[in-house]
Structure 1
């Protein structure tokens, strides 16, 4: 079988990013080229909807989507997390347990995209689809991406290209699947929040759209930032946080002696995750460890910098 993979909604500051795939038998490829699939961006909304419904009814075509909501994108791209390593030291006179917290870095958008595409390939394989070739619109360097995919799935030929949605009909079909799915998700969006005067007159959702900028201004909250429709990790949002209410994060560590791992000068804190306006009041927290998370205080755990 052949598979095409494409995404919709990579650039907007609002809503989900959607990865879609379409696959069919190799023998159906020539027929696929006659079905009027094209890059979804060149088609009107009505045309995309019609083509999507037609491919859903076509028993010779399979498809799948991965909808990555804005909340998940924000969490992954702003994430700082620690993996915990334990070391039990035993001697003649005493035993001591050391706990090492090693901080990991955030996940960038390219990695999220790669993982989504590979997840679609894996899902198809697990469902019994015998994939031999996969065509995919590139994210980053095409050759590096191809090597990465080939190492993950060595039995499959991968073709990674720029503008693949306009070059290969199977990717054009995947583009339609992704775009229609995202458009429907936005049309049917239900806010988690219950604030008054919320609306979906968002414009295109792209940071440069005046209507989108106005929507962000209208829906900014001084404490919570924005509704979950917004991707907090986008640089567009940072400026809006500068005048936000100051917040003291309980888990921010202010003890410089236990301030991180390796050569870091201080521990990564919640207030440093892009929310530049959310300042902690460090002068109000003693360096005795009062600012540490209660979990660590209760267990008398602290970060160490030197290993013995």
Structure 2
């Protein structure tokens, strides 16, 4: 075993501590996470995944800690090996109507509702949800829990692909580069070309007032 694989094995052991008591009883565990809470444009996307404890994936980690290329590769592997996976997208108009926290919570709950199997327990990345299934919200859960980390990758890749499509539609805004986040380039594009129908107007109030 190489050094890198050895480190991945150690990481996998530490990241499956929460799930193992359930897996040892033959029970399923779901993880839920979102991508896109902070950007100025585009949707918030949540993914809920139930992973197979008999076929664990080496190298899974918080989506923010791995490269875009590796996220894309893991996305396909996760979908292939997951017992179940559900994704839900809440667009910018709903975010403006009910605020980003409520929109993210809605995405979590709808993603969970989309599962075909019912897990014995759910781990969320610091989100309280309305469900009859026992769940545990964990701060920085995507860096601690294997199933949340897998969900973070699915959510991030799904959202990034949406933003790359927007980049083709609105090439001057560089969405493929910044994914809708509030970079200097993004603000410069808004000043030059205006606000789009995919922008979150509630996120741009101060910008509009100061501009």
Q: Which band: TM-score by shorter chain?
A: 0.7 to 0.9
1:206 paired residue number = 181
**Per-residue deviation, 1:72:** 2.8
> 3-state DSSP class of the match of 1:112?
helix
TM value normalised by structure 1 = 0.54
Matches within 5 A, 1:1-308: 1-24=28-51, 28-29=52-53, 31-32=55-56, 34-58=57-81, 60-74=82-96, 76=97, 107-124=98-115, 127=116, 129-139=117-127, 145=128, 149=129, 152-154=130-132, 156-189=133-166, 191=169, 199-202=172-175, 203-204=177-178, 205-207=180-182, 209-220=183-194, 226-234=195-203, 236-240=204-208
Given the superposition, is the C-alpha separation of residues 239 and 210 from structure 1 closer, same or farther in structure 2, using an over 3 Å criterion? closer
Which one scores higher on RCO, CA 8 angstroms, separation ≥ 6?
Answer: 2
Cα deviation digits, residues 114-160 of structure 1 (max 9, x gap): 22211222222xx3x12211010014xxxxx2xxx4xx433x22011
TM value normalised by structure 2 = 0.77
Cα deviation digits, residues 56-106 of structure 1 (max 9, x gap): 222x432111112223322x1xxxxxxxxxxxxxxxxxxxxxxxxxxxxxx
Cα distance in 2 between the residues matched to 1:199 and 1:237: 22
**Per-residue deviation, 1:227:** 1.0
> 3-state DSSP class of the match of 1:153?
coil
RMSD between superposed Cα atoms in Å: 2.2
The answer to whether the Cα contact below 8 Å between 1:66 and 1:120 also exists between their aligned partners in 2 is yes
**Per-residue deviation, 1:30:** 6.1
Q: Which has the higher helix share?
A: 2
**For structure 1, which runs of at least 5 residues remain unmatched after alignment?**
77-106, 140-144, 192-196, 221-225, 244-308
> 3-state DSSP class of the match of 1:18?
strand
**For structure 2, which runs of at least 5 residues remain unmatched after alignment?**
1-27
- Structure (1 or 2) with the larger CA radius of gyration: 1
**Per-residue deviation, 1:22:** 0.9
